[in-house]
C-alpha cells in the first residue's frame, strides 16, 4: 500500500471529516472509496465511448424497424399525461 500526502482547503477537510464520520469510516477509507468511485466512473465512460464508436445508426434503425408495433403488456403502459422529451 502507498502513502500519499495531499493539501486540502480547511473547509474541504472539515467537510471530509464530517462525511467520513457520517458514513462511519475513517478519512483514509472515505478518500479511498471516493477515488475508487471516480476511477470506476471514468473507466465506465471510456468503455461506453469505445463501444459507441462501433455503433451504426443504420443498423440501429434497421433493428428498430424490425420491432413489432403492438400495444404494451399490462403494467408497461406509460402513465397518463406522459410527454416524451422529444415532444412526440
Per-residue pLDDT reduced to its tens digit, 41-72: 999 999 999 999 999 999 999 999 999 999 99
Is 1 a member of any domain? no
Is 86 a member of any domain? no
Is 3 a member of any domain? no
Q: Structural domain of residue 51, as residue ranges?
A: 10-64
Helix, strand, coil tally for the chain in percent (to 5) = 55, 0, 45
Mean pLDDT computed over every residue of the chain: 94
Q: Is the pTM of this model over 0.75?
A: no
Is 20 a member of any domain? yes
Crossing angle of the two packed helices 27-53 and 10-23, in degrees rounded to 10 = 90
Amino acid at each position: 500500500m502507498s502513502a500519499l500526502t495531499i493539501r486540502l482547503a480547511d473547509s474541504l477537510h472539515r467537510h471530509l471529516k464530517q462525511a467520513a464520520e457520517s458514513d462511519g469510516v475513517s478519512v483514509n477509507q472515505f478518500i479511498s472509496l471516493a477515488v475508487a468511485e471516480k476511477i470506476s466512473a471514468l473507466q465506465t465512460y471510456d468503455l461506453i465511448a469505445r463501444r459507441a464508436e462501433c455503433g451504426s445508426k443504420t443498423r440501429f434503425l434497421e433493428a428498430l424497424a424490425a420491432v413489432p408495433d403492438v400495444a404494451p403488456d399490462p403494467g408497461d403502459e406509460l402513465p397518463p399525461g406522459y410527454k416524451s422529451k422529444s415532444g412526440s
